[in-house]
Structure 1
């Protein structure tokens, strides 16, 4: 008798190790960025040896400003700070009134494609320009007044609030919107009943956050003479009255931190609701 022939299992082919993909575009971009950074450092006229003196100079000026602040100027500093807050508030309100309806139109599904493109381009262009540039342009019409700062903050706020607004509208769940449209609602009614109830907490949070930004920016706008605490900082820095400058910085930091803290708590309450004890 012949021995049975044992069948051998077929050998499975071992897959070849895939080659690492080549990404020449990534190398080109990395090399380009490196060259640009090196050229930027090389072309800037900076005395690098003076960087070693920076820590000691910071300590010296810190001592001049905060060792004995001039508290006699505190009433004037508080009044100018109040003007800065007013400037920020007016700029925020004007920005909200302009940006909110435009952001609703710029949202996908509520405006024509060409109109959305135009509005989004305008929002991007405004965001690319600092507030101080708008203030310098407005100076020729309104002069060195707090209104100039408020208008500059309002224009700049339109860019950020507009972008935040249409992104918030587009992030709304589609269920209520579809229900409003199925019921025969007009675009305005869909926005009123399908979008706004859900987007209101986000909009309120954005408005408060923009007010925080405007409070800080109003101090910077004061540097060009439109009033507020920044105007006092510029004046006393030019005369090198460091003790007064230190007192002004203390006021600015304290007021800004207080507004940020209050606004932050309000925003958390809006977004998260009341905490159950």
Structure 2
């Protein structure tokens, strides 16, 4: 009997995978990045001065902030939050039904392809560009910013919707369809109950995104705290700019904390009676 029985031979080993493809891809990607960097004509000597300049302007803004316009800053922040909320509502009301129709197994193929193409086009256009286009129609009003946020968010929000719908299909749509249900009934009784928590969570996340974007839209004249930032930055009133940035950061963090707690509550579901009973029992024992 051969002593090499059971040992792998060179003919049993799989061939070594070729590294030519990944190597060529890495070389091409590196060449593209290098070419793009060289075409920007960057003066690398200025990079060393950037930290000092950043510290200088941060000292101008935050060393002694000017709180004289704090009440107006709160009012403009409230306008930005209202603008973000209205934009989120408009976005969700449009994106949920359209996103469901774009999901696999819900809408017809031709409609699904058309809607997904429209969503891709909307995602390719920044909110600022949409706001600049709307400025010629609605003027310099907060409604322009809300409308821009609502339209710009449809592309991403609808993508989240149809991806969520496709991920929760576990046989319920087929059961409703087998019972004679139409598309509306399948959506109502099979898809919506399973996808509603995730969709509501995404809707709140859209509101959080709009809070940040509304400040940017204010720079182009859409109103809100962004308009104040643009005005005082142009006049180089850095102490007031520092106060505005503090208000924006604190308001954004507060909204994120509240929205995050609500989203966690939605996705976690209601607290079970057993868990609540255990918690109360533990508290009673600890008090004794």
Task: Tell me the TM-score range normalised by the shorter chain.
Answer: over 0.9
Query: Matched residues in 2 for 1:164 and 1:11: separation?
Result: 58
TM-fit CA distance, 1:178:
2.5
Query: Matched residues in 1 for 2:87 and 2:20: separation?
Result: 48
| 2:99 corresponds to 1:92 | no
RMSD over aligned Cα atoms: 1.5
Aligned to 1:4: none
| 2:127 corresponds to 1:147 | no
Instruction: Give TM-score scaled by structure 2 length.
Output: 0.90
Aligned to 1:247: 243
Query: Matched residues in 1 for 2:4 and 2:190: separation?
Result: 63
Unaligned runs of 5+ in 1: 1-7
Q: Name which of 190, 193, 202 aligns with 1:194.
A: 190
Q: Name which of 253, 259, 264 aligns with 1:257.
A: 253
TM-fit CA distance, 1:127:
1.1
Aligned to 2:206: 210
TM-fit CA distance, 1:41:
1.4
Query: Matched residues in 1 for 2:154 and 2:8: separation?
Result: 61
Query: Matched residues in 1 for 2:199 and 2:233: separation?
Result: 39
Query: Matched residues in 1 for 2:198 and 2:8: separation?
Result: 55
**1:7-53 residue CA offsets vs partner (Å, 9 max, x unmatched):** x4475374215442214332222111100111111111222111111
Unaligned runs of 5+ in 2: 280-288
Please say which of residues 33-42 and 45-54 is displaced more in the overlay: 45-54
TM-fit CA distance, 1:58:
1.4
Query: Matched residues in 2 for 1:228 and 1:212: separation?
Result: 16
Aligned to 2:284: none
**Does the residue aligned with 2:229 lie in a helix, a strand or coil?**
helix
Please say which of residues 194-203 and 27-36 is displaced more in the overlay: 27-36
Instruction: Give TM-score scaled by structure 1 length.
Output: 0.93
Q: CA 1:14–1:260 in structure 2 vs 1: closer, same or farther (change >3 Å)?
A: closer
Query: Matched residues in 1 for 2:15 and 2:43: separation?
Result: 48
Aligned to 1:3: none
Q: Segments of 4+ in structure 1 off by > 4 A?
A: none
Aligned to 1:67: 63
